[in-house]
């Protein structure tokens, strides 16, 4: 069986309850996690240790909160009480070195799914998305990660465009995989807006990235998280599974190899 689970954000107890509910077996099954393993929840260290221990059975992509943890490890961002146990762990370097080598995009041609934390920019087809994701993965794994990541995180702009230089395009791809929700009519991203789609937002020119009228066609269904106010959402092109566990919502599991099975939920138990 192959399952996908939404943003964990350190909700270890809920994670364990959901794995028990779906009868997940690390020797038999595979699990996809849409990123944001850590931060805000009380069990961030336990989540990271579990995923690391069972990495042969678990496929993850990096989320923005995972990147924030990496940045805190390198002194680029301020830490907080929920990730301090990770940074103070005797295995911190081992865990961070593993985490920063994880992809931003996972593609399974046989299943017909791909996965990224926030999605795939409507300006990218799958080939271009993979090209940028591969380059960014090399950057995260590189020896100069501290210098490079500080540069990637320096921008405070709410609107991010694709740009013309290699650096601008790299920053755009970085934010599209990690932070994207809404796009303007030119495909640029609005980063600050976190609410669910409304007519008011649409009247301001904001469309969910996956409803962008001129979105490049992608042959696989895109699984993503990152958008708790959107909740569980599915159409022919995308499957959103962040149901806001850390915000007293639910944690959701969807079976990918047999879609006749209904999604499974557990209530927040952070």
Q: What is the C-alpha separation between 12 and 43, in angstroms, rounded?
A: 5
Q: What is the mean pLDDT of residues 218-241?
A: 97
Q: What is the C-alpha separation between 101 and 24, in angstroms, rounded?
A: 25
Q: Which residues in 125-167 belong to E strands, given as ranges?
A: 159-160
Identify the pLDDT of residue 103: 98
| Ranges of each domain in the chain | 2-267
Identify the pLDDT of residue 97: 98
Instruction: Let me know if domain 2-267 sits in CATH 3.60.21.10.
Output: yes
pTM: 0.96
Is the pLDDT reported for residue 7 higher than 90?
yes
Phi, then psi, of 240 in degrees rounded to 5: -100, 130
> What confidence category does residue 200 fall into, taking pLDDT thresholds of 50, 70 and 90?
very high
Pick 154 or 108 by higher pLDDT. 108
Identify the pLDDT of residue 223: 98
Residue 12 Cα distances to 49, 136, 216, angstroms: 10, 28, 37
**Beta 233-234 vs 189-190: how paired, if at all?**
unpaired
Identify the pLDDT of residue 261: 82
Identify the pLDDT of residue 178: 97
Q: What tens digit of pLDDT does each residue of 235-259 get?
A: 999 999 999 999 999 999 999 999 8
94 CB neighbour count, 10 Å cutoff:
11
What are the structure tokens assigned to 1, written together? 């069986």
**CB contact at 8 A, 250 and 21:** no
Q: Given strand 159-160, what is the order of strands in its sheet?
A: 159-160, 189-190, 182-183, 207-208
Compute the mean pLDDT over every residue in the chain, rounded to the nearest whole number.
95
Q: What tens digit of pLDDT does each residue of 157-189 get?
A: 789 999 889 999 999 999 999 999 999 999 999
Any idea which of 23-37, 58-72, 155-169 has the lowest mean pLDDT?
Answer: 155-169
Identify the pLDDT of residue 259: 81
Task: Spell out the residues 6+ positions from residue 65 whose beta carbon is closer than 8 angstroms to its own.
Answer: 9, 35, 36, 37, 38, 39, 40
**Beta 221-224 vs 238-240: how paired, if at all?**
parallel
Phi, then psi, of 151 in degrees rounded to 5: -65, -40
Q: What is the mean pLDDT of residues 203-220?
A: 95
Q: What tens digit of pLDDT does each residue of 136-158 get?
A: 999 999 999 999 999 999 877 78
């Amino acid at each position: 069986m192959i399952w996908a689970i939404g943003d964990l954000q350190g909700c270890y107890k809920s994670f364990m309850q959901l794995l028990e509910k779906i009868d997940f077996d690390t020797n038999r099954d595979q699990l996809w996690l849409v990123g944001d393993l850590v931060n805000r929840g009380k069990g961030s260290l336990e989540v990271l240790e579990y995923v690391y221990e069972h990495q042969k059975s678990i496929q993850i992509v990096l989320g923005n909160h995972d990147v924030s943890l990496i940045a805190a490890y390198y002194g680029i961002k301020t830490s907080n009480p929920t990730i301090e146990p990770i940074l103070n762990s005797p295995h911190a370097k081992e865990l961070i070195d593993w985490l920063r080598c994880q992809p931003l995009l996972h593609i399974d041609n046989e299943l017909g799914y791909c996965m990224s934390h926030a999605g795939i920019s409507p300006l990218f087809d799958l080939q271009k998305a993979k090209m940028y994701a591969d380059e960014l993965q090399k950057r995260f794994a590189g020896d100069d990660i501290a210098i490079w990541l500080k540069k990637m995180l320096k921008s405070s702009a709410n609107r991010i465009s694709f740009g013309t230089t290699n650096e601008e395009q790299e920053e755009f791809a970085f934010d599209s995989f990690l932070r994207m929700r809404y796009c303007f009519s030119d495909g640029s991203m609005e980063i600050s807006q976190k609410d669910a789609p409304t007519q008011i937002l649409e009247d301001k020119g904001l469309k969910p990235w996956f409803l962008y009228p001129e979105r490049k066609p992608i042959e696989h269904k895109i699984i993503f998280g990152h958008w708790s106010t959107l909740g569980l959402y599915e159409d022919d092109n995308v499957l959103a599974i962040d149901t806001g566990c850390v915000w007293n919502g639910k944690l959701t599991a969807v079976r990918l190899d047999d879609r006749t099975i209904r999604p499974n939920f557990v209530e927040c138990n952070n």
